[in-house]
Amino acid sequence: MSDAPVKNERDTVRPAEASAINRREANAAPAEQSAPQPGKPTPRRRQRVRTGLFLLLPVLALAGAWLYVTGGQIVSTDNAYIQADRVGVSTDVAGIIASVEVTDNQAVTQGQVLFRLKPEPFQIALDSAKGQLGTVRNQILNLKASYNQALAEIEQAQTDIPYYQASFERQVKLIAVSAVSKTNYDDAKHALDSNRQKVAVAKAQAQTVLAQLGGHIETPVEQQPSYLQAQAAVDEAQRNLKSAVVRAPFDGIVTNVDSLKAGAYLQPPQSGFSLVSSDKLWIDASPKETELTYVHPGQSVDISVDSYPGVKWHGTVESISPASGSSFSLLPAQNTTGNWVKVVQRIPLRIRIDDAAGKPALRNGMSVVAEIDTGHARGLPFRGWFGHSSASRE
């Protein structure tokens, strides 16, 4: 083999060809450097993006300003809860529970029997009151008869007075001529005085009976004061017997029924269990006082319940409390102390639910978000500045 060194291809080419190759390589290098790489933006494209962003900034600023000026009419608060009519079911008579007619969380209608007390004591009291009423009626009739008897005695005594008067006058004439004895004179005088006394006694008896009848003998028995009193006792006993059967005062759902058992002694004002209304619902909201500037009754409200995402209810602002919630607290804030700190107050307001029918069931105490449409946008902020400045100058 030959040991001669291998020469490069460029070493074997001619000088003219070598210069042509060098020119081609020099032209190819800038082309390779300027060729765009996939996924990498070109300088011209980057310039267009910067220009677009700078032009978009004023548009976004104007859009934000427009949203701010035309917005702010919705007052939203999540300090709101569903409320319902609720009552502790009880009765105003004491007694032993005979039976409980409902179960826990059962829906009931107005007038439905909830539980019963043993009726025997109330029935006995009613029978006794009725017996007393009959006795009073008989007493009134007896008094009327006594009054009529007294009138008859007065009339009889007054009829006899002329006879005894004439007999006494005859005795006076006869005793003057000594034609009769003194005894006959005394007997005639005594008979006249006794008859006059009978009239006075009968009149007194008649007045006594008339006073017991209320001063009016012609008043019917049913309108006499003693009869009315006895009748009231009967009505009270009848009411107690009726109250021994406890009924639902309104439609709703009973709860905590298991706390009342048959055989337990129920004494007012102890309640047996609770009844929560199923249709008389409203919302108690407590927005901040700074949010109530343009809120007033009658405004529409959009209601969202945490338990039912995506479902909307519509309501109306029904009323606004005349005082803050802290005004009714057991220990209100003492603002006269030296460590007083201003706290934004919350004003309760009541929202009526207008379209509860056909939607998921609402329950007392559920959390909601209420959005009140005040219809008043924020407007331009410098209006208030200018108004304040002009007012200050004045």
Q: Any idea which of 2-11, 28-37, 44-53, 194-203 has the lowest mean pLDDT?
A: 2-11
Predicted pLDDT at 106: 95
**Mind listing the pLDDT tens digit for each residue in 255-289?**
999 989 999 999 988 888 999 998 899 999 999 99
Instruction: Answer with the residue of higher pLDDT: 161 or 387.
Output: 161
Predicted pLDDT at 102: 96
Predicted pLDDT at 362: 92
Instruction: Answer with the residue of higher pLDDT: 34 or 151.
Output: 151
Instruction: Answer with the residue of higher pLDDT: 382 or 90.
Output: 90
**Mind listing the pLDDT tens digit for each residue in 135-158?**
999 998 998 888 888 888 888 888
Tell me how far apart the alpha carbons of residues 109 and 313 are, in angstroms, rounded to a whole number.
25
The CATH number given to 87-118+243-273 is 2.40.50.100
Predicted pLDDT at 68: 59
For the chain, where are the E strands, in sequence order?
A: 74-89, 95-100, 107-108, 113-117, 245-247, 252-255, 265-266, 273-285, 300-305, 312-320, 349-353, 367-373
Give the angle subtended at the CA of 308 by the CAs of 303 and 313, to the nearest 5°: 25
Predicted pLDDT at 208: 86
**Mind listing the pLDDT tens digit for each residue in 359-368?**
999 999 999 9
Confidence band of 177 (pLDDT split at 50, 70, 90): confident
Does position 210 have pLDDT exceeding 50, yes or no?
A: yes
Tell me how far apart the alpha carbons of residues 130 and 235 are, in angstroms, rounded to a whole number.
9
Predicted pLDDT at 242: 95
Mean pLDDT of the chain: 82
Predicted pLDDT at 2: 44
Most confident of 3-17, 122-136, 192-206, 266-280: 122-136
- The proportion of the chain whose per-residue pLDDT surpasses 70, expressed as a percent, equals 81
DSSP state of 288: B
Does position 4 have pLDDT exceeding 50, yes or no?
A: no
Predicted pLDDT at 164: 82
Predicted pLDDT at 251: 93
- Sheet architecture: strand order including 265-266: 245-247, 113-117, 95-100, 265-266
Two tokens, residue 99:
């039976």
**Contact by Cβ (8 Å): 86, 274:** yes
Residue count of the chain, please give it.
394
**Contact by Cβ (8 Å): 132, 170:** no
Tell me how far apart the alpha carbons of residues 17 and 152 are, in angstroms, rounded to a whole number.
172
Confidence band of 26 (pLDDT split at 50, 70, 90): low
Q: Any idea which of 42-51, 228-237, 297-306, 342-351 has the lowest mean pLDDT?
A: 42-51
Tell me how far apart the alpha carbons of residues 229 and 244 are, in angstroms, rounded to a whole number.
23
DSSP state of 147: H
Confidence band of 387 (pLDDT split at 50, 70, 90): very low
Q: In sequence order, which residues have a C-beta less than 8 Å from that of residue 215 and are 6 or more positions away? A: none
**Mind listing the pLDDT tens digit for each residue in 115-129?**
999 999 999 999 999
* N-terminal to C-terminal alpha carbon distance within the chain: 117
User: Which letter, b or e, does each residue of 201-219 get, where b requires 16 or more Cβ atoms within 10 Å of its Cβ?
Assistant: ebbebbeebbebbeeeeee
Instruction: Answer with the residue of higher pLDDT: 154 or 17.
Output: 154
Give burial (CB, 10 Å; 0-12/13-18/19+) of 317: buried
Predicted pLDDT at 65: 63
DSSP state of 99: E
What average pLDDT does range 31-43 have in this prediction? 57
Predicted pLDDT at 52: 77
C-beta pairs of 199-207 under 8 Å, 24+ apart in sequence: 199/154, 199/157, 199/158, 199/161, 202/150, 202/151, 202/153, 202/154, 202/157, 203/150, 203/154, 205/146, 205/150, 205/153, 206/147, 206/150, 206/151, 206/154
Tell me how far apart the alpha carbons of residues 218 and 210 are, in angstroms, rounded to a whole number.
10
Class of domain 70-85+274-326+343-379: mainly beta
Give the Cβ contact number of residue 311 at 10 Å. 11
Tell me how far apart the alpha carbons of residues 139 and 249 are, in angstroms, rounded to a whole number.
41
